Structure 1
Amino acid sequence: MDQRAQDDATVLQRSLRRFDITAMGVAAVISFDTVGQIATGGGQAATWTAALALLFLVPYALVFAETGAAFPQEGGPYVWVKLALGRRAAALTTLFYWVTNPIWLGGSLVFIAAETWDRFVFRLGSGTVADYTFKLLFVWAAILTAVVSLRRGKWVTTVGAGVKVLALALFTGTAVLYGMQHGFQGLRDAHFAPTTGGFLALVPILLFAYVGFEAPNAAGEEMHDPQRDVPAALGRSAALAACCYLLPVLALLAVVPAGQVTGIGGFMEGARLVFDVYGAAAGPLLTLTAVMFVFALLTQGSAWMIVSDRMQAMAAADGGFFSRGLGAFHPRLGTPVRTNLLSGAVATLFMLAAMQLADGNAAAVFSVVLTVAVTTLLLSYLVIIPSLVLLRLRRPDAVRPYRVPCGTGGFLLCAGVVLAWIAVGSWSALFPGVLEHLFGLSYDFQDQWGVSRLTFESFTLGTVALLLLVGAVGFAAAHRRDQASRSLTSPRRPSSDAD
């Protein structure tokens, strides 16, 4: 990393301990918006959730625990890809990883938050002044949390993680009480046997739900003891995430009639049903849960902004994305304020574009925008995972406080399994229905997504194409600027008659 990036790193303050890293992982990765979306897969959603926890999450956690402890520099995945494949590949990969989060914040998170507030707190309407105001406040409150110093901002995400786990536990426990009184009709009607169609539909969203535990490594130089704390925190947060997905999905399927679970309203609609066991207290308790739900969504966005903005800032400071000024860390706050504001602008623009796409259909926007976020994030892992392998092979002497069992062979096996899952998920997210047709399965695109394939692919492939263009232009602009800067500062050769 060049001198400018090192200078920016000098303003960083070590404020993250093991508990903070675990809480940040929980706040970022356990996604309220994906619980309902996963449950739309019916009984086999629980089957695939458990299967991927074992066959994907475990090897994923192992390889990132080793790499995160061995290479704890600020910037995390940006640094890993740069060390393995160079600055250009690292800058483009980081762009895909980073942009996922303002897209997600301005798309799926803000839409499910507004829908929840509209249904359970007070009416906002669709496309009204109140609707736009709520969504803008939501986006910029998340950005503000990333702007303040990490020493303070971490407590917002920590509280959000606690609220999230509490709300999920409350819902799951209440669903059990409801089932004991009214019967678990949903489980009797659910079909848990896995199918090829269910696999192809669920894999992208499940992978999106399970990835991201390496994100706190983006603040590696703000951790007190990353080499010891990262593996332990990653293991704890991953185990907690598996439980926080599987148990609520089972509870949701148990109480909501088959075929009536929706991605955007699934969790809260399930809560509305099961809170009937509380009698007269059901209404106020449901409203309180809705507020907790929205707050948890907000802090989820904040946690990702905190970590992914640091990655993008380090890429800019290192000369890989437009102006190095985007990578400047505030001398007092120790945060990349300019990149934070850029994230807010992207999230706002994407929210406005998504509202035009929906034309009042929030459920369609939720599904399509969530898939765009899934696509950009999974594509970044197609570069990150091979980079981890190259670091393992090329830098065997790096201090590795934690190692994947069975040495290099175990590491390569785990990385290969993870990469295979990511490849299938990326293809299914980019081109839904293609693999289904190859396997002879029926697939009605309009019925599945609520929009035409042209609209869907315009949003997904259009986003990918735009990011590739932005990445190429950004790197070229940074390269030209650096060349111009070097030519101005380099000593001039004395003139002679021969010149």
Structure 2
Amino acid sequence: MSLASNLLRVKPAEQLTGEGSHTELKRTLGLVPLVALSVGATLGTGIFVVLADAAPTAGPAVVYSFVLAGIAALCSALSYAELAGSVPVSGSAYSYTYATLGELIAWVCGWCLLLEYGVSVAAVAVGWGGYLNEFFQGTIGLRIPEALSAPPGEGGMINIPAAFVVLLAMGVLLLGVRESARATTIATLIKIGVLLFFVAVAATAFNSGNMTPFAPEGLAGISAGASLAFFSFIGFDAASTAGEEARDPKRDLPRAIMISLLIVTAIYVLVSLTAVGAVGTERLAEAKASLAMVLDTVTQQAWPSIVLALGAVIAIASVVLTVLYGQTRILVSMSRDGLMPPVLSRVNHRRIPARNTLIVGILVAVLASAIPLSRLAEATSIGTLTAFGLVNIGVIVLRYRRPELQRSFRTPLMPFVPLLGVVLCGYLITGLAVVTWIVFGIWMVVGLAVYFLYGMRRSKLNESDSEPESTV
């Protein structure tokens, strides 16, 4: 085959689905655990960590920033839902683009997902330490020294809490998918309860004066805030990484994606509105554990912020767990296709990819211990927006190339909704800092080098006949 043919060859949807139906992974997850997986991977990331960064940029209109980011996520979620019901495997956007846009684009998408999942785990882990300190301060009057709880560049030497929570999540994943799903469901219910508690308390101090000027930097400020806020929607696609561990993936994956996004968006809007209304955007920007500060200000008592801090510790730990899970399952798919080393797809007696989980967990723990949060959050957003844009294009391609393919969910208003998703993803990418683009460019150069030197040569499609499979 020519170089161009190799780069554009696709893996037929039936082949992907067939491999997924004979998976070595264990099918144990129903609709509720899948919703908990997606909500668990999403809820808490932005509200507990990023709100303080987005609020000064957008002003009180940060509420609109979350809505705009939610609309962008919704367009992509509809595309994810259709593809998850059509190609129910563990690779998420990577597998979807492999079935639609060709091997090279699939590799690019998978490489972006590795950035999204791996770096977002590290970013969330960094934010976990702030709330852990808040909890310790409120209960036993002690704080972890900054030298041991902040990375270089932010006043510290190493972020031990961030590394610890990643290794803790790794340990839970090694117990098995059923145990991980149970822990995720419990943690998700706790975090929803804690955030609703925050809304109820903060609403009692709502001051309309804190909402003016509403949009001090106009649409530019809202869109820049949305670019940051989009980080808080990363994870709704986590259910799609469980395609080979869901009991009825064609039915449950689309439902889980849509239900989780609706839950998350509603809570984000309520929390951001009541937080800004209670203390204003300037106060939010001053505190790392910003929501705990809001409760301190509103109640003038310690116990509400202690409750919130404990909820945040549990919530953010569950995000680390679920996103780390997604990272390992994407690597399983890439490894099974030959584009990554085979060790990453081998499973143990518990039918989990143990070596994969150990490798990813240790690497992410090192990353979380040494890199500042702001750089991690933006790097995550650019990888995610790129992957989402490719999924939106992929659903259009598959709909028109394979109209007869069985779909348990169909994206409405085709192709308008996916095209809007592409436009919104591109629009939000433009709001990211130049240094983020530089880091992303370096990451992609490294990724392409890995593909051409390793992945393209070892692709399992090389073993198949050279007939034109590449036209799905």
Q: CA deviation at 1:7?
A: 9.3
Match among 262, 266, 269 for residue 293 of structure 2? 269
TM-score normalised per structure 1: 0.79
4+ residue runs over 6 A deviation? none
1:292-303 alignment to 2 at 5 Å?
Answer: 292-303=311-322
- Equivalent residues in 2 for 1:212-291, closer than 5 Å: 212-262=235-285, 264-276=288-300, 282-291=301-310
Specify the code of the residue in structure 2 equivalent to 1:245.
Y
Q: What's the CA shift string for 1:425-476, capped at 9, x where partnerless?
A: 1222243xxxxxxxxxxxxxxxxxxxxxxxxx2x652354134314432552
Counterpart-to-counterpart distance in 2, 1:209 and 1:161? 15
1:193 CA drift (Å): 7.9
> How far apart are residue 324 of structure 1 and its match?
1.5
CA contact (8 A) 2:36 2:185 kept: yes
Confirm whether residue 326 of structure 1 aligns to residue 381 of structure 2.
Answer: no
Kindly tell me: are residues 50 and 8 of structure 1, through their superposed partners in 2, closer, same or farther at Cα, counting changes over 3 Å?
A: closer
| 1:12/1:221 contact within 8 Å kept | yes
**Residue 88 and residue 57 in structure 1: after superposition, are their counterparts in 2 closer, same or farther (change >3 A)?**
closer
- Report the alpha carbon displacement of residue 184 of structure 1 after superposing the two structures with TM: 4.9
Aligned position for 2:5: none
CA distance in 2, matches of 1:144, 1:64: 29
Measure how far apart 1:394 and its partner are.
0.9
- Return the match for 1:158 from 182, 185, 189: 185
Question: 1:185/1:427 Cα in 2 relative to 1: closer, same or farther (>3 Å)?
Answer: closer
Alignment of 1:203-214 (within 5 A): 203-214=226-237
Contact map agreement 1:46 1:192 (CA 8 A) in 2: no
Equivalent-residue separation in structure 2 for 1:133 and 1:47 (angstroms): 35
- 1:124 paired to 2:119: no
More displaced 10-residue stretch of structure 1: 298-307 or 472-481: 472-481
* Letter of the structure 1 residue corresponding to residue 27 of structure 2: R
Match of 1:83 in 2: 99
**Superposition RMSD in Å:** 2.7
Which runs of no fewer than 5 residues in structure 2 stay unpaired?
1-10, 137-141, 151-157, 464-472
Matched, 1:69 2:67: no
**Matching of residues 477-496 of structure 1 within 5 Å:** 477-480=454-457
User: 1:418 and 2:432 equivalent?
Assistant: no
Offset of 1:412 from its aligned partner?
0.9
Q: CA deviation at 1:218?
A: 1.5
**Count of residues in Structure 1 that have an aligned counterpart in Structure 2:** 431
Q: Which amino acid aligns with 1:237?
A: S
**Aligned-pair CA distance for 1:83:** 0.9
Q: Post-superposition shift, 1:226? A: 1.8
Structure 2 distance, partners of 1:335, 1:190, is 52
Structure 1 stretch displaced more, 234-243 or 378-387: 378-387
Distance 1:48 1:481, change over 3 A: closer
Give the Cα–Cα distance (whole angstroms) in 1 for the partners of residues 338 and 451 of structure 2.
Answer: 9
Aligned to 1:115: 130
Partner secondary structure for residue 115 of structure 2:
helix
What CA distance in whole angstroms lies between the structure 2 residues aligned with 1:100 and 1:286? 30
Q: Structure 2 CA distance, aligned partners of 1:481 and 1:402?
A: 34
Tell me if structure 2 keeps the 8 A contact 1:23–1:161: yes
For 1:311-350, what aligned pairs fall within 5 Å after superposition? Answer: 311-321=330-340, 323-330=341-348, 332-350=349-367
Q: CA deviation at 1:154?
A: 0.7
Which amino acid in 1 is paired with 2:322?
A
**1:324 corresponds to which letter in structure 2?**
P
User: Cα offset for 1:243?
Assistant: 0.8
More displaced 10-residue stretch of structure 1: 9-18 or 343-352: 343-352
Take 1:18 and 1:203, find their aligned partners in 2: how far apart are those partners? 30
In structure 1, C-alpha distance between the alignment counterparts of 2:448 and 2:332, rounded to whole Å: 14
Code of the residue aligned with 1:421 in structure 2: it is: L
What is the CA deviation profile of residues 157-206 of structure 1, one whole-angstrom value per residue up to 9, with x for unaligned ones?
A: 11221122111101000112334xxx55423x351588132133113123
Deviating more after overlay: 15-24 vs 124-133: 124-133
Q: Aligned pair in 2 of structure 1 residues 129, 381: CA closer, same or farther (>3 Å)? A: closer
Aligned identity (percent) is: 19
Distance (whole Å) between structure 2 residues aligned to residue 401 and residue 416 of structure 1: 21
The residue number in structure 2 matching 1:36 is: 52
1:246 to partner: Cα distance: 0.2
| Residues 330-479 of structure 1 aligned to structure 2 (within 5 Å) | 330=348, 332-354=349-371, 365-405=372-412, 410-431=413-434, 457=435, 461-474=438-451, 476-479=453-456
**8 Å Cα contact 1:215/1:308 also seen in 2:** no
Aligned partners of 1:376 and 1:464 also within 8 Å: no
Structure 1 residues 20 and 288: alpha-carbon distance in aligned structure 2, compared to 1, 3 A threshold: same
Relative to the length of structure 2, the TM-score reads 0.83
Distance 2:147 2:250 in 1: 48
Q: Equivalents in 2 of 1:292, 1:372: separation in Å?
A: 26
**Residue matched to 1:452:** none
When residues 58 and 377 of structure 1 are mapped into structure 2, their CA distance, relative to the original with a 3 A threshold, is closer
CA distance in 1, matches of 2:458, 2:400: 34
Worse-superposed segment, 263-272 or 459-468: 459-468
Instruction: Quickly say closer, same or farther: Cα 1:6–1:66, change in 2 above 3 A.
Output: closer
- Encode CA deviations 1:71-105: one digit per residue, 9 max, x unaligned: 21232222211111223321231121123222222
Q: Which amino acid aligns with 2:345?
A: G
Q: 1:404 to 1:101 in 2, by over 3 A?
A: closer
Superposition deviation, residue 6 in structure 1: 4.1
**Which residue is 1:10 aligned to?**
23
Map 1:170-209 → 2, pairs under 5 A: 170-179=197-206, 183-187=207-211, 189-192=212-215, 195-209=218-232
C-alpha distance after superposition, 1:192-239 (max 9, x if no partner): 588132133113123333344232111112111122222322222111
Partner Cα separation in structure 1 for residue 457 and residue 77 of structure 2 = 39
Q: Closer, same or farther in 2 for the Cα pair 1:283/1:190, shift >3 Å?
A: same
Is 130-139 or 140-149 further displaced after alignment? 130-139
Instruction: Report what 1:60 is aligned to.
Output: 76
2:37 aligned to which of 24, 30, 46? 24
